[in-house]
Chain A
Amino acid sequence: MTTVVEEEVVDLAVTPLRELNQRLHDVALSGEGLRRWRVVNPKGAHAVACGLDAELEVEIDGHVGYYCAGMNKLATVVVRGNASTGIAENMMSGKVIVEGSVSQSAGATAHGGLLVVHGDAAARCGISMKGVDIVVRGSVGHLSAFMAQTGNLVVCGDAGDALGDSIYEARLYVRGTVAGLGADCIEKEMRDEHVAHVRDLLAAAGIDDVDPTEFRRYGSARKLYNFTIDNAGAY
């Protein structure tokens, strides 16, 4: 006997975006309604499934525009396509999975949760991240993890120029080449605990064919003026 999991299907070709988001918010407010949702025909719309605050599972069939799953809390959002600027920006918790590639500022300022990108991420991936875990199957563009405060960024491919510029306490793991490190970002020793850490992050992302020992670790040298006041004059 097969179990049929009931789901709400919302077609954005006929349903206004605000109505979709309101209905998703209503589940959090009322505690009632189905937990599984499927969104079809997103056609690059902005702000799809933003501000969710309940343990929902939302699957989006197609490409989305800016700020998809922004401010996400508790929910799992899966994009079966590409996402534009600011996917999962300011996420608090939950999970956002993109099967395709994402544009710039993925996971920007996100406080928690897990963002998985199976394709590439463009410039400024994880900019100002504040606790989120980001796992990118492909490569990331320039200025990724700029001013990253805390959290983890795992890149299975390459990183663009100025990686981790002005970084605070976030941990960066890159398997491929790094085009260049940003100000105050340095390579650090990859100890056993870090390999275990990468293994856990890859497992959480559902990636089991990438060897965690192949990664290098990068982080803050703690020499910028905010760490070392003697250097303030240099700015």
Chain B
Amino acid sequence: MCGIVGLFAKSPEIEERLGVHLVAMLAQMSDRGPDSAGVAIYRDPVPEGMTKLTLYSPEIGEDWRAVASAIGGEVDSVRASHSVIVVPAEAAEAEGRVRAARSDLRIMSAGSVIEIYKDVGLPEVFAQEFELTDLHGSHALGHTRMATESRVTTEGSHPFSTGLDLCLVHNGSLSNHNTLRRMLRREGIEFQTENDTEVAAGYLEWRLREGATLEQALEGCLDDLDGFYTFAVGTAEGFAVLRDPIACKPAVLAETDDWVAMASEYHAIAVLPGADDARMWEPEPGIVYVWDRAAVA
């Protein structure tokens, strides 16, 4: 088991209170995943030529200003063990500077809009420690984890970055992740954990690098991934959902004039304003669904 939630704002009111709604949804999914939790939130784009990094340090009281100055950037915000640092450089350059200056830090996300926060512990506690209710944004994904394939660590929590402004959350388990990881390592994709979802994230990163569209990369999962999954993928513009063809893992989608929401179970959507009257449906197995600005405008 694991819990997934996703929320896409269609009105300024929802954008303004995105964090509040996201935390309410996440709390409802606590019983599906009490081990750890995480969110990806899309907000405050940085100007072209700049990169927004979310960094994680296992050191309590990390000196983030020192980190920022070592990589030529500025601290945007600090939330618990994570910091968002904006660097006036392209992403590859910015990430390279982090690795050169502080190889002990983990890069949770990179891009122009994405921020990823994740940690072990109960989702409600996580949300409090990271002060997530403060956050506004255009859209967000969240995950509550009940670990099956690898250890309960911050690094093994979801979302996983799959490239610039991209991330993946997963409910399910993959059985061919060791074989796939070996293949992807030969293709130059790096892995930080023994986690199966990180392999799915690496797979998407590889397919996108090789020129696939997000839809094509996700459709490739149907052929190349063996296991159970409901995936939600966050992009700069919105999010995508895919369930494996057997479709044991649940997902429900709902839409009103103010939002589009996705969750493992309806009660996580029921906390949103106007949920009782939302249009609601279950995504069909093996079909890629995408919501973005263009689709809902």
Contacts and interface: CB of A to CB of B under 8 A. Distances in A.
Interface string A40-70: 0001110000000000000000110110000
B280 interface: yes
Interface residues of A, number: 18
Contact of A84 (B245, B248, B266): B266
B281 A101 contact: yes
Given A103-B250, A104-B247, A123-B247, A82 B267 contact: no
B250 A45 contact: no
Contact of B265 (A65, A100, A142): A65
Contacts of A62: 276
A84 B250 contact: yes
B282 interface: yes
Interface of chain A, helix or strand or loop or mixed? loop
Nearest to A62: B276
Contacts of A123: 247, 285
Given A101-B281, A122-B282, A142-B285, A43 B250 contact: no
Given A84-B250, A104-B247, A123-B247, A44 B282 contact: no
Interface residues of B, number: 18
B270 interface: yes
Contacts of A43: 267, 270-271
Nearest to A142: B285
A85 interface: yes
Contacts, number: 44
Interface string A141-166: 11000000000000000000000000
B251 to A, nearest CB: 9
Contacts of B110: none
B265 to A, nearest CB: 6
Interface string B246-288: 0110101000000000000111111100001000111011000
B281 A63 contact: no
B267 A44 contact: yes
15 contacts: A44-B266, A65-B266, A84-B250, A84-B266, A101-B282, A103-B250, A103-B252, A104-B248, A104-B250, A122-B247, A123-B247, A141-B285, A142-B245, A142-B247, A142-B285
Interface of B: 245, 247-248, 250, 252, 265-271, 276, 280-282, 284-285
